[in-house]
Amino acid sequence: MTQAPATTEARRRGHDREIIALAVPAFGALVAEPLFVMVDSAIVGHLGTPQLAGLGVAAALLMTAVSVFVFLAYATTAAVARRVGAGDLQSAIRQGMDGIWLAFFLGIVVIAVTLPTAPWLIDLLGASDTAAPHAITYLRISSLGIPAMLIVLAATGVLRGLQDTRTPLYVAIGGFAANAALNAGLVYGAGLGVAGSAWGTVAAQCGMAIAYLVVVVRGARKHGSSLRPDAAGIRASAQAGVPLLVRTLSLRAVLMIATAVAARLGDTDIAAHQIVLSLWSLLAFALDAIAIAGQAIIGRYLGANDAEGARQACRRMVQWGVAAGAVLGVLVVASRQLFIPLFTADQAVQDTLLPALLVIAVSQPIAGVVFVLDGVLMGAGDGPYLAWAMFVTLAAFAPVALLVPTLGGGLTALWWAMTLMMTVRLLTLWWRARSGRWIVTGATR
């Protein structure tokens, strides 16, 4: 029996209200990380092209070191949201605390690995002799903030699962303002150069982590959840995140391959690539705001045993993704002459990045659907499929990207290869969403 038109329309409006209420604040929180990098790029870019090129290589490594653990946010959001849907808030917050402790321990391990291997990692990405010293300095200092960054990820996942995206927005605004002020003051005021930019980012991330911990601890005490680390709970959180870790490693491998190819095209291309990648990341996080809403909403519906509500929410969010991608693509084209000079005064860099910007503008509607479906499947806890799909995408992208220096086309050809990558992701995620196999109801999957 089908729903009456009035009932269907009412439910659609209800989905729209939920999506807006969660996605709009989530947008502000999601863009914090790429905005950090964009501010760093804008400030460091005026020190010179070698400094910007060094930042580009180091930032790619730093984002990889953090982003491979993005499951701390995504898996936690899904698990907490399911328990919220089932009406068990105490268990929901306990699940979140396990994720936060896991984040802290992982952060310490990453620092221990990154500090001694920084020169080797920078060389691996093919940084030039002029850019490498700046890259090593930035990477070593910024790695000290990795535990704070991972705690921010996990705590954000807790709040999203609790259907709260406003608090992460407020924390992100404070962190962005602090990062911009500290970077400007330390780079130019204190004359610390690239090192000043790194120290400013570390300080801002630590401040954000403290703010999140205050909020989560307050909620844990309110609902009687333990704050102590629980070995079994931490192991369970890690095991649940393994498929998403595989998925994220494959995605980061795509981005690292792209950066390595750009680095081998020369300092001008890697500097331009850093700017394009920063903008692409900003657009991705903007689209991911709808996906974050999807994680929280889908997890809650499935936890409450409402499979039909989950299906309808998925369909509506896909429509939102297409529309948002189209709007963002138009904005990139319309504003290109306004923001390009903010990042570099080097005319060669500007000329190189402009065609690549037009490529990412064209691909935004595809990206809109990809990020939404990614979020829906994460909210459903469908990590194993996401891992497989992203590995297939990496296998399709790698040979095409690695041929760019040989076949020619420069940075523009590289970003067409990135568009191919997004198209493969679209096909794999769309097939899964249509199959309905992701729909598993209950407080746990």
In this prediction, residue 32 carries a pLDDT of 66
In tens, the pLDDT along 370-400 reads 999 999 999 998 989 999 999 999 999 999 9
Tokens of 357: 């910007």
Angstrom distance (rounded) from CA 362 to CA 365: 7
Contact 428, 370 (CB under 8 A): no
Angstrom distance (rounded) from CA 344 to CA 333: 18
In this prediction, residue 269 carries a pLDDT of 84
In tens, the pLDDT along 196-221 reads 888 888 999 999 999 999 998 888 88
pLDDT band at 5 (very low <50, low <70, confident <90, very high): low
Q: Summarize the confidence of residues 75-90 as an average pLDDT.
A: 85
In this prediction, residue 2 carries a pLDDT of 47
Task: Give this prediction's pTM.
Answer: 0.79
In this prediction, residue 416 carries a pLDDT of 93
Higher pLDDT, 20 or 5: 20
In this prediction, residue 33 carries a pLDDT of 64
The full DSSP string for 102-149 is HHHHHHHHHHHHHHHHHHHHHHHTT--TTTHHHHHHHHHHHGGGHHHH
| Residue that is written with structure tokens 């003051």 in the block | 185
Tokens of 158: 């807790």
Q: Summarize the confidence of residues 15-43 as an average pLDDT.
A: 76
Q: Summarize the confidence of residues 396-411 as an average pLDDT.
A: 89
Contact 97, 226 (CB under 8 A): yes
Question: At how many degrees (to 10) do helices 410-435 and 347-362 cross?
Answer: 20
If you average pLDDT over every residue of the chain, what do you get?
A: 85
In this prediction, residue 133 carries a pLDDT of 84
In this prediction, residue 342 carries a pLDDT of 74
Contact 380, 299 (CB under 8 A): yes
pLDDT band at 1 (very low <50, low <70, confident <90, very high): very low
